């Protein structure tokens, strides 16, 4: 079954690539059909097979032979791996479906933030609608969920104002939404992990002179990664931490 979900992730990853490219441009994610960004020729059906088409075409457009961004197959593989890992950890339930939708949205948010330094409100609204839609089918501790929302959202809102724009409002809104999904105290764990990961990566980028201390580093991908880790292993991490006290 994990293999099935891996291939499902590959297929959905191809669609997520469309979302990542079109959403910041205000374009529809359902029409028109996919085309080469360079020559605008519509892609053939056999050119849309996840990963395989990229390899078959040697990473080149069939029509203009312009290079296809390597990120497309990477996102497809990433989605497949995350889907399989999530199913393995959470087993098969309605909660797993909700988690896969959350992960899909976080992939889109991460790469849009990397490209454009924005977190689209459309994606946050999608996550809110998804959370509400699953309420009849899941056991939700509302107090726990809203405590997570208030803690994560409030913390990052405070950081946004104190840093005077160092952290964007989009990050604060994403933190609040993730807090709703993760609940208390897992939401704070995710935010701590996000800050820790961002700090480590930021230091390496500065040491390697890829970034300067004044450069902006998108924070969305770190929140997404931290949320994924917390979603699957948050309880174990908290148990390990409290056992040290």
207 domain-assigned: yes
pLDDT greater than 80 at residue 15? yes
Contacts of 27 (CB under 8 A, 6+ apart): none
Q: Are residues 82 and 151 in the same domain?
A: no
106 domain-assigned: no
156 domain-assigned: yes
Q: Is 156 helix (H, G, I), strand (E, B) or coil?
A: helix
Pick the closest to residue 122 from 137, 135, 112 (CA basis). 112
Q: Are residues 51 and 163 in the same domain?
A: no
Task: Note the pLDDT tens digit of each residue in 76-130.
Answer: 999 999 999 999 998 778 899 999 999 999 999 999 999 999 999 999 999 999 9
Q: Which whole number is the average pLDDT over 190-197? A: 95
pLDDT greater than 70 at residue 141? yes
Provide the pLDDT for residue 84: 94
12 domain-assigned: yes
Q: Is 212 helix (H, G, I), strand (E, B) or coil?
A: coil
Domain carrying residue 66:
1-92
Provide the pLDDT for residue 190: 96
Q: Are residues 193 and 240 in the same domain?
A: yes
Contacts of 179 (CB under 8 A, 6+ apart): 145, 148, 149, 150, 151, 152, 153, 187
Q: Are residues 40 and 142 in the same domain?
A: no
Q: Are residues 142 and 32 in the same domain?
A: no
108 domain-assigned: no
What's the domain count of the chain?
2
CA distance 169 to 187: 18
Provide the pLDDT for residue 33: 86
CA distance 119 to 110: 8
| Count, residues in the chain | 245
Q: Are residues 163 and 51 in the same domain?
A: no
Q: Give the domain-ending residue among 44, 77, 92.
A: 92
Q: What is the largest CA-CA distance in the chain?
A: 62
pTM score, whole prediction: 0.94
CA distance 118 to 126: 16
113 domain-assigned: no
Contacts of 99 (CB under 8 A, 6+ apart): 86, 90, 231
């Amino acid at each position: 079954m994990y293999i099935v979900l891996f291939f499902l992730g590959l297929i959905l990853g191809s669609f997520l690539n469309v979302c990542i490219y079109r959403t910041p441009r205000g374009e529809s994610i359902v029409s028109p059909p996919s085309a080469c960004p360079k020559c605008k020729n519509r892609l053939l059906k056999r050119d849309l097979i996840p990963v395989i088409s990229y390899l078959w075409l040697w990473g080149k457009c069939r029509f203009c032979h312009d290079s296809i961004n390597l990120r497309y197959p990477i996102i497809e593989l990433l989605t497949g791996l995350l889907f399989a890992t999530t199913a393995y950890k959470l087993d098969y339930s309605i909660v797993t479906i909700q988690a896969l939708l959350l992960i899909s949205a976080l992939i889109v948010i991460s790469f849009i933030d990397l490209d454009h330094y924005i977190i689209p409100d459309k994606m946050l609204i999608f996550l809110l609608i998804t959370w509400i839609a699953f309420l009849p089918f899941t056991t939700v501790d509302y107090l726990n969920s809203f405590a997570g929302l208030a803690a994560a959202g409030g913390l990052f809102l405070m950081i946004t104002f104190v840093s005077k724009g160092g952290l964007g409002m989009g990050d604060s809104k994403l933190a609040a939404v993730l807090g709703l999904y993760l609940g208390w105290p897992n939401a704070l764990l995710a935010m701590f992990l996000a800050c820790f990961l961002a700090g480590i990566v930021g230091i390496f980028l500065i040491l390697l002179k890829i970034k300067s201390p004044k450069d902006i580093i998108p924070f969305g991908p770190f929140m997404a990664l931290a949320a994924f880790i917390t979603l699957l292993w948050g309880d174990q991490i908290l148990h390990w931490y409290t056992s040290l006290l």
